[in-house]
Structure 1
Amino acid sequence: MTIRIDRRKFLMGSSALLAAGAAGVSPSFAQSDALRLLFWGGQDRADRTYAVSDMFTEASGVSMEPEFLSWSDYWPKLATQTAGGNAPDIVQMDYRYIVEYASRNAIAPLDEFVGGPLKLDSFDQDQLDGGKVGGQLFGISLGANSVATLVNTDAFAEVGIDAPTNAWTYDDIMEMAEAFNSANIRGGMKVMSDGSYTEPMLHNWLRQRGKELYTPEGKLAFDEDDAIEWYTMWDKLRKAGACVSAEDQALDSGPLETTMIVLGKSALMPSNSNQLVAYQTIVQDDLNMIGYPRAAAGSGGGHYRKPSMFFSVGGSSANKEKAAEFLNFFISNPEAAKVLGVERGIPCLPSTREVVAPTLDEKGQIALNFVANLGDLLGALPPPPPPSAGEIDASLIRTLGQEVGFGAKSPEQAGRDLVSGANDILSRS
């Protein structure tokens, strides 16, 4: 995903969450009967979520107060509200952060509601397991998805070459770049955005090589040689004009509207399968979706079906049972399912999938079929990342990629700094 977290904002939010854990999360000082819902996303997701919130209010009589922010603004606000004992009743949660929030009691276990307000008998087991921390259920998956590469098919047609397929490799990027640079379409569109500081892309590349970002025990699972090779590969792509310049990539400030494929800076961009629908609403060119590039021809196993995001209940909420009722409505109500579609991923209840499938437009069908047919790209779901993984992503992986891009550090120095810095952060967590 090419969304970026501003380092200062992330660390501010992380500190606030730490303070909440140290002090103990107390009940909110301003409780009301309305359920407060906080989530990240673009306008398309907001429109769908607000509509379903209204449907729940009509069905239950429970008032809803939903609010959405961009990814980069979401986490500092959630952490700050959590530290102040004023967390929302329902929060959108990411696989990356669920361990951290659960371990600090910032979100509540949901087991007591299963079989009551929460009906999960036929819920996909892998998605249910993905929301567990220490054997307790802390998040309800809102859809299964996978990392993916968005493809501007119109741009490839304009250049006069075939768009890549799931068989493409990192070496193919350089070959396609020659065609794009020669054609010089749209003021110099590059074939690829800069994925060097995209954590999911690094993780996928490592998995294809038989490694992971982290061990099940929360230790670093790769070494300096891996990190140096990663930054060196992207440095070569950047210098050859195969990916966008560091200056252009820096325009990506978080919202979908600032990403390289929306700005017309690149024809390929790492993303997630559930985001195709949202991107197509704001891009006039036709978009398609393929997997991440292969580390080498025939290599696979880097992808996995990940909970795209969860809904969790705030640890300080005084309305936990009502919040659980909303979660159940969100994932299982047939009319809600038709509104939500696959914007958050492939639904995890078979009954919901049956309702949604006939209603999907072309892009929704592409997303569903992509996740269902990953083939040899598919590997096992990795363990949840350690609590400090968010800080490593924001303050190291992203920052070091930018520093190499702007020439402030060599790939060799960045590789060493990534490993030493990550080990230091993990040792303090």
Structure 2
Amino acid sequence: MTTLHRRQFLLGSAAALAAGAISPAFAADAKLRLLFWGGKARADRTFIATDLFSKANPGVTIDGEFMAFQDYWAKLGTQTAGGNAPDIIQMDYRYIVEYAIRGGIAPLDEFVGGALQLDDFDKDQLDGGKVNGKLYGISLGANSVALMVNEAAFKEAGIELPGRELSYEDLPALAAKFNAANKRPGMKLFQDGSGVEPALENWLRQRGKALYTADGKAAFDAQDMTDWFKLWSDLRAADVIVSAEDQALDATDAIENTMITLGKATTTFANSNQLIAFQAVNKDPLTMTNFPRIKAGSGGGHYRKPSMFFSIGGTSANKELSAKFINFFISDPEAAKALGVERGIPCKASTREVIAPTLDAQSKIALEFVSNLGDLLGPLPPAPPANAGEVSTQLRTTSQEVAFGQTSPEDAGPAFFDQASATLARAKKG
């Protein structure tokens, strides 16, 4: 059976043709530049897929480069500003609006039905890649926020793993039990989540609020932020979370520097698709659960988020070829098996069917978690506005100031709200 026939069998003839060899118009040598964030585990999987595409399309090569999340945006911003953006850009939900409205990424609508075959693509994930009604990003997987949990640390202490009903109110008592039985000196129950934007958003959603309104304003107020910083100050005083000095070690969003990987905490705020990458750099077995509820019995603040997108650079000279590569990445059976769920649960039903029998233990945990959120699940919020990334950085900075005792929660709440509001207002004027 030929490769084309096997794809035809698994995906259907229309998708097979789009996923297979490129048209004669692209037969000449061509090089596409691909930029993405992530660690070695993601890169290894990605480069298998790029090699498969080049093998299926002789003469086409993919020049891929990867780096940590924080470093990534600085490099992408510099390249985009200089008119030298990559052809294929890994894009985040937080930044897609900003890059779309500034022309940093190109609309993809003209390729849908041709280079991009999206008939069995999840609608909520497709909608997540739209800005002002136009499609700018193809979701590479659905995920949700999740706590990474060190199973071994809990088992050594003889304490049951935290589960779906865990609340912030439960943390002091749980920490007291853990601290009394902990076999690992210096390890705390939780990281300091006060500077973690997804943790703040999840908590706000449980209070009936949000981070941002649909028109790009703050959807929270100063009192919300005071309460947030006070929550973490109280947890710090109760010996639940790591010290300010330890948390400062996690300054780059690299998995290697997180509190769980450094052995400073049993749990770390992350995303469900990251379990594979976390396990790759942790010797202890890991699992995951949901973010804490605000109180026992309350609903959760989770949603199914596009883990990340592939977008096409606004200045790319190979937009159609880039769209064909993206389609291959999300549709080709062999690429799908190599990629697994490391970037989230695939958004094409046909791709999910292909990979389901091949998943390892961590991948099955991720699939089950995202598929069974239950009362934790709410609607997808609007895409973050331009300058949302700057607000996230401001949150991290303010949280450190509170943690190190340079300001109080009562002062930090209004100060952060004013600063964030000004940042968002400046973005709208720009």
TM-score normalised over the length of structure 1: 0.91
* In the alignment, structure 1 residue 283 sits paired with structure 2 residue 300: no
Structure 1 counterpart of 2:299: 300
Residue of structure 1 equivalent to 2:309: 310
How many angstroms apart in 2 are the aligned matches of 1:331 and 1:248?
39
SS in 1 for 2:261: helix
2:173 paired with 1:175 = yes
> What is the rounded CA distance, in whole Å, between the counterparts of 1:51 and 1:210 in structure 2?
43
- 1:48 maps to 2:39: no
Equivalent residues in 2 for 1:76-91, closer than 5 Å: 76-91=74-89
Out of 168-177 and 80-89, give the one that drifted further. 168-177
| Cα deviation 1:317-336 (Å, max 9, x = unaligned) | 00101100100000000000
Distance in 1 (alpha carbons) for counterparts of 2:318 and 2:395: 38
Mapped partners of 1:57, 1:344: distance in 2: 21
Partner SS state of residue 30, structure 2: coil
Give a deviation string over 1:171-221, Cα, whole Å, max 9, x none: 111111112222343222100011000000000000001110111111111
- Residue type of the alignment partner of 1:266: A
* 1:155-304 superposed matches below 5 A: 155-254=153-252, 255-304=254-303
Matched-pair identity in %: 62
Matches within 5 A, 1:335-374: 335-374=334-373
Q: Distance in 1 between matches of 2:278 and 2:405?
A: 31
Equivalents in 2 of 1:300, 1:76: separation in Å? 37
Deviation at 1:282, TM superposition (A): 1.3
Shift of 1:281: 1.2
Residues 293, 300 of structure 2: 8 Å contact kept:
no
| Aligned pairs (5 A) from 1:408-419 | 408-419=406-417
Q: CA RMSD in A?
A: 0.9
TM-score by length of 2: 0.91
Q: Deviations over 1:320-379 (max 9, x none)?
A: 011001000000000000000000000000010011111101110000000000000000
2:205 partner amino acid: R
Question: Residues 32 and 62 of structure 2 are in contact (CA less than 8 Å); yes or no, is this contact kept in structure 1?
Answer: yes
Corresponding residue of 1:119 = 117
Tell me which residue corresponds to 1:19: none
Q: Which runs of 5+ in 1 are unaligned?
A: 1-31
State the AA in 2 paired with 1:256. I
Q: Distance in 2 between matches of 1:55 and 1:121?
A: 23
Question: Does the 8 A contact of 2:156 with 2:182 survive in 1?
Answer: no
Alpha-carbon contact 1:146-1:371 (below 8 Å) kept: yes
Code of the aligned partner of 2:372: N
Counterpart Cα distance in 2 of 1:132 and 1:378: 21
Letter in 2 for 1:323: S
> Residue 187 of structure 1 aligns to which amino acid in structure 2?
P
Question: Which of 397, 400, 416 is residue 399 of structure 1 equivalent to?
Answer: 397
- 2:33 equivalent to 1:36: yes
**CA contact 1:166–1:291 (8 Å) conserved in 2:** yes
- CA distance in structure 1 between the aligned counterparts of 2:416 and 2:36, rounded to whole angstroms: 30
Q: Which whole-Å CA distance do the structure 1 matches of 2:312 and 2:383 have between them? A: 19
Report the Cα distance in structure 2 between the residues aligned to 1:253 and 1:403, rounded to whole angstroms. 14
Deviation at 1:253, TM superposition (A): 2.9
How many residues are matched? 397
Q: Secondary structure at the residue paired with 2:220?
A: coil
* SS state at 1:181 partner: helix
Residue 376 of structure 1 corresponds to which residue in structure 2?
375
Give CA deviations for 1:106-164 in whole Å, capped at 9, x if unaligned: 00000111111100011000000000001110000000000000111110111111111
- Alpha-carbon distance between aligned partners in 1 of 2:226 and 2:183, rounded to the nearest angstrom: 33
Q: Secondary structure at 2:50's aligned position in 1?
A: helix
Shift of 1:33: 2.6
SS at match of 1:269: strand
Provide the secondary structure at the position in 2 that maps to 1:63.
Answer: strand
Q: Which residue of 2 aligns with 1:59?
A: 56
- Aligned mates of 1:181, 1:122 — CA distance in 2: 49
In 2, Cα distance between the equivalents of 1:228 and 1:87?
40
Amino acid corresponding to residue 399 of structure 1 in structure 2: T
Query: Distance in 2 between the 1:182 and 1:171 partners?
Result: 19
In structure 1, the residue matched to 2:102 is 104
Q: Secondary structure at the match of 2:260?
A: helix
Q: Which amino acid aligns with 1:78?
A: L
Aligned-partner Cα distance in 1 for 2:355–2:36 = 22
Residue type of the partner of 1:322?
L
The answer to whether the Cα contact below 8 Å between 1:181 and 1:188 also exists between their aligned partners in 2 is: no
CA distance in 2, matches of 1:367, 1:360: 10
Q: 84, 87, 90: which one pairs with 1:92?
A: 90
Equivalent residue for 2:387?
A: 388
Amino acid of the structure 1 residue aligned with 2:343? R
In the alignment, is the contact (CA less than 8 A) between 1:213 and 1:220 conserved in 2?
Answer: yes
Would the aligned equivalents of 2:169 and 2:296 in 1 still touch at CA under 8 Å?
no
Whether the 8 Å contact between 2:153 and 2:182 is mirrored in structure 1 is no
Contact 1:180 1:189 in 2 (8 A): no
The aligned residue for residue 3 of structure 1 is none
Unmatched runs of 5 consecutive residues or more in structure 2: 1-28
